[in-house]
Chain A
Amino acid sequence: MTRLQAEDLELSYGDRSVVKGLTVAVPDGAVTAVVGANACGKSTLLRGLARLLRPQAGHVLLDGRAIDGMRTRDVAQVLGLLPQSPTAPEGLTVADLVGRGRSPHQRWFAQWSESDEDAVTQALSRTGTAELASRPVDELSGGQRQRVWIAMTLAQGTDLLLLDEPTTYLDLAHQVEVLDLVADLNARDGRTVVMVLHDLNQACRYADHLIAMRDGRVHAEGPPEDVITEDVVREVFGLEARVVPDPVTGTPLVLPLSTRRRRPSPPASAPSQPA
């Protein structure tokens, strides 16, 4: 049983078709990472799954129902979304921002229930942002800000979390911090996470399930060990690379072969991320 899936999905911006005839099932209670080259349609797929885009053809099913026919509010009670580089109104405090996550559960006559309060308190403590509660969001560092946004989606209290490039613009330490948090949300609360990631090695480390996309289609899908091979990296990214076991986690580690070698000694060892 899978709660979120796409069938023959076609998504486009205007006339430009970005996702074509795509069928995926998001495994419940697992972390799924969507990877692929720039403009392969991975963010578009996530937007389609989150009901931000209306499909040209096919459909997205949430709990067996076509998500397009559901009320926005009902979707928001089941599925939380963190868009790419979200923006908050100027001067907003962390507590206000995280509190907004409760909007789908609130009404004009029930503006702040005890469960709202509990969910926000919990979200703040889970993300380690409780002591920031009264600070304005614009004063936070990039890593803090991203944790606060994740706290907002957490406060929403949904079983499904869709994160669009949650590590963009963060330095390496903050990237790891955010991804550890995501892994923890999955491991401790059993939340289903789908995230778009740029870094293949991080995707391999943190995802149970990988979806590698190319030209708007699923090119390969499955556990990282099965998906990430030298052939797939070449086909998906057009990049020659060695794939070796990650010395820390044993997951696949992609080492791009560079044409330029900085040191005379072989073998190729450019530690950069795949472009």
Chain B
Amino acid sequence: MTAAAPPRPVRRRARPDGRSLVLRRGAASVVVRPRSVVVGAALAVLLVGTCVVSLAVGDFPVPPARVLRSLLGAGERRDDFVVLDLRLPRVVCGVLVGAAFGLSGALVQAAARNPLASPDVLGVTSGATAAAVAAIVLGAPGGLALPGAALAGGTGAALVVLLLAARRGVVGVRLVLVGIGVSAALQAVVSYLLVEADVAQAQAATVWLTGSLNGRGWTQVVTVGAAVAVLLPVALLLARPVAVLQFGDDTARGLGVRVGATRGAVVLLAVALAALATAAAGPIAFVALAAPQIAARLARAPGLPLATSALVGAVLVTVADLLARRLLAPTDLPVGVVTAVLGAPFLLWLLARASRGEGRR
């Protein structure tokens, strides 16, 4: 210790709610919920573990130790090919797509103040689906045409929904109703296209419609990765006003939140994330709906924890894809089949709990 000003200690105090700690240094302070930190760490460990297992198993099994060696750049050439070239893009894509869906779902549910809302409600999924199926049926060339069409369709449909729903600010209930209407119309388009298409095209379209990570490469990883890398920090910066938004518009405004601007930004973020994820992997069912609800129950924090939702989404898709690959091996199921099978009971359970008037968290 020198004679210079002594370093100001970081002070820790429990907040009166008894569930969070305050770390203070000078004028700066952050609130930390130990439970959220523990849950986040546990999810991260689970995610990494699932990824390693997913990289290890397959028609050419590679022991986890050799998987790690490959990842660290010290593997044998044969392992490197299987692990890094064949499996890694798919696994990373699953992590990113899951995170994007989870975060998008949390944002939509926060903006709509409705636990049953998801990006589907904004027309993102149905718009992307209709555009992608149209691209397949009309015989679009491969490469980026399909994700490009899905991205354009998803954002386009979401913009239509937002324009129709917006009247002096985007309002929750009207947003949901307009979204359901637009989605229904787009579903009709999809059905029509499938009826018109020939068998091969219809089959390709159906696989895409289910949501699949099969054959996803670094192109998808880069687009979804860039989206998550840019949009996740933006979303986290919005977390505080979003939390206040849960008190209703009047109270939120009274507490100094620009309600219209915040909700607009949140919805745009959600649309961008969901559209890019759908473009990469197709509409993977239930992840955006379930991830925020699971995250909220794990974190037991008021409001929807955004980062935890992204982590839960990533874990869900990674685990589901591992099951999809291995359950009926060598048949490679679309990951959307697994998430749908797991997600449907969850949705029913959520509805049953909601109608019983829960409150025992």
Contact = CB atoms under 8 A, between A and B. Distances in A.
B253 interface: yes
Contacts of A90: 358-359, 361
Interface string B343-361: 0000000000000001101
Given A111-B29, A134-B16, A75 B256 contact: yes
Contact of A113 (B29, B248, B253, B358): B29
A44 B43 CA distance: 48
B237 interface: yes
Chain A contact patch, size range: 35 or more
A133 interface: yes
A25 interface: no
A120 B16 contact: yes
Interface residues of B, number: 34
Contacts of B15: 95, 99, 112, 117
Interface stretch (A2-10, A80-88, A259-267): A80-88
Interface in B222-276: 237, 240, 243-244, 246-248, 250-251, 253-258
Interface in A12-62: 47, 50-52
Contacts of B248: 83, 86-87
Given A95-B17, A133-B16, A110 B27 contact: yes
B112 to A, nearest CB: 13
A101 B251 CA distance: 10
B255 A156 contact: yes
Interface of B: 13, 15-19, 22, 24, 27-31, 237, 240, 243-244, 246-248, 250-251, 253-258, 300, 302-303, 358-359, 361
24 contacts: A47-B250, A72-B256, A76-B256, A81-B254, A83-B251, A86-B247, A89-B302, A89-B303, A91-B302, A93-B302, A95-B18, A96-B17, A96-B302, A101-B255, A103-B240, A104-B255, A110-B28, A111-B31, A112-B24, A113-B24, A114-B24, A121-B16, A134-B17, A139-B359
Closest 7 CB pairs between A and B?
A76-B256, A81-B254, A104-B256, A83-B250, A95-B17, A73-B256, A95-B16
